[in-house]
Amino acid sequence: MNVARLVPYALAAIGLGAAANALELRLWTYGEPAAGLFPFLAATLLVVTSLLSTREKVPEEEAIELPRLIGYSAALVGFCLMLNIVGFALAALLFLIAVLTLIERMGWKKGILLAALFAFSTWGLFEGLLSVPLPQGMWRM
């Protein structure tokens, strides 16, 4: 079964959960709309339209290089986690090295050089020149 066909069902389930949560906030109090009214209406609309969408055609699946996509997604997650530990500059360097050398199959020397160039010039531009605060991580780098 095409995984994309499950998306409208997942959205309908989110809508049902949100509607139940909105009901707990109450819809109408003291003759005025309460906090739950608008989310409830939005969630109900989501359930109805998602269920209607299940009858629609899903676009033809194009061939995806799954290992490539999984590799990139893992690198993204790793990048986010590393930001919290080693800060922007080092996390960006490691992320770019991983992407350029392991996923894009660039040579190690060229990959590391380009990664260092992009990571440190971006960091220098924003943190050094423009004083835009970037994540420092637990190591305060």
Residues that bind another protein (CB under 8 A): 4-5, 7-8, 11, 14-15, 18, 21-22, 25, 28, 31-39, 41-43, 45-46, 49-50, 52-53, 55-59, 62-65, 68-69, 72-73, 76-77, 79-80, 83-84, 88, 92, 95-96, 99-100, 103-104, 106, 114, 118-119, 122, 126, 130, 132-135
CB of 21: closest distance to another protein in angstroms? 7
CB 136 within 8 A of CB 85: no
* Structure-token pair, residue 87: 């800060």
- SS3 state at 82: helix
Write down the least CB distance from residue 84 to another protein, Å.
6
Q: What is the 3-state secondary structure (H, E, C) of 18-43?
A: HHHHHHHCCCEECCEECCCHHHHHHH
User: Which of 56, 66, 61 minimizes the C-alpha distance to 103?
Assistant: 66
| Under 8 Å between Cβ of 1 and 25 | no
Enumerate the β-bridge partners of residue 32.
Answer: 29
